Amino acid sequence: MRDLLDYLSKAVEDHASDIFIVAGGPVCVKLDKSVCPVDQDRILPDDSEKLITSIYEHAGRSMDHFLKHGDDDFSFSVAGLARFRVNTYRQRGSMAAVVRVVAFGIPNWQELGIPEQVMELSTATHGMILVTGTAGSGKSTTQACIIDRINQTRDCHIITMENPIEYLHRNNRSIVSQREIAIDTEDYISALRACLRQAPDVILLGEMRDHDTIRTAMTAAETGHLIIATLHTKGTVNTIDRIVDSFPSEQQGQVRTQLSMVLRTVVSQQLLPGQDGNLVPAFEIMHMNNAIKSLIRDNKSHQINNAIAAGGAEGMISMDQAILSLYQEGKISKDIALVYADNQEQMQRRLV
């Protein structure tokens, strides 16, 4: 069995996104959505425990939380190699971990395929911007690129709340305060409430997990702050429904009204297998306008997709329009376009 640094170095060298350490099989990495073994050495529970203990030693972190609760989230760096985001957990009585590889520095947004329309969100000064998508779709990276653009172009105070911190931002034109949940503050809601007394201009929320956090974030957006947050949802409509449904039914009418006033943009993204073997991002962009405000207030979110598709002149694009563009540019195949389309029948007609 290799030691931890061998596995980490191999993953970085191969441009893997994740490393899987699970007893009973070999250590594996994820390469463009495929899980591949690093070698054929099967690791036993004692081996996985040694590797995970080594992770904690490199992170300079106590294992007490993990041993008590059975799972843990944190990040650490290896000089000259990369940063790593770690989730440790127990499975079938043994220790296991998934390690996300995070490059040093902020990635180049153009090389990642993030459109300029998304980067232009860095000019917003108030309201709520949501970056949504399934796990591993690149939400944190998109957030980091927007924050980096703000840091390079504006004089302001940026406060980030993340669990754990992935990308490190150095002060440029802005002051960037990065707070890690459970290390620098107790939880998201505590950090967000305290943040409002720390003279922020821009607030980044790693995730909105419950209605208390969502309500506080909306209140902060109402008071003139720019909130950039993520949700694990697919598509704008699901995002709006998820926010509203997180509240008790008697409060949902008020929440819809408040959301229609503070929401500025929803960016929904997913990664598609490309023709060249790399992953290609597709972005749905919804900007708030009077028609969409009314649809949210009147509980007609199912009609929002039509408003997005008709909003091209305002910089909006639906997910299916984005996927069709990728196909027309030769970046994805017809089969992939159909698999990832929201409306497969309509996409089939467009691809003819």
**pLDDT, tens digit (0-9, with 9 covering 90-100), for 11-21:** 999 999 999 99
State the Cα–Cα distance between residues 107 and 142, nearest whole angstrom. 9
Is the peptide bond between 273 and the residue preceding it cis, with omega within 30 degrees of 0?
no
| Domains of the chain from N-terminus onward | 4-102 (3.30.450.90), 109-351 (3.40.50.300)
- Residue 174 is predicted with a pLDDT of 98
Q: How many CA atoms lie within 13 A of 308 on its CB side?
A: 23
User: Which two three-digit tokens encode residue 202?
Assistant: 């821009």
User: Which two three-digit tokens encode residue 244?
Assistant: 């509203």
- Residue 165 is predicted with a pLDDT of 87
The structure's pTM equals 0.85
Residues in the chain where the model's pLDDT stays below 70: none
- Residue 182 is predicted with a pLDDT of 82
State the Cα–Cα distance between residues 281 and 269, nearest whole angstrom. 7
Distance from first CA to last CA of the chain, Å, rounded? 52
Q: How many residues does the chain have?
A: 352
- Residue 289 is predicted with a pLDDT of 96
State the Cα–Cα distance between residues 134 and 129, nearest whole angstrom. 17
- Residue 343 is predicted with a pLDDT of 92
Q: Label residue 184 left, alpha or beta by phi (over 0 means left) and psi (-120 to 50 means alpha).
A: alpha
Per-residue pLDDT tens for 270-322? Answer: 999 999 888 999 999 999 999 999 999 999 999 999 999 999 999 999 999 99
- Residue 281 is predicted with a pLDDT of 96
State the Cα–Cα distance between residues 148 and 171, nearest whole angstrom. 10
Give the list of residues 6+ apart from residue 349 with CB closer than 8 angstroms, or none: none
Looking at this protein, which amino acid is placed at residue 236? Answer: T
- Residue 130 is predicted with a pLDDT of 98
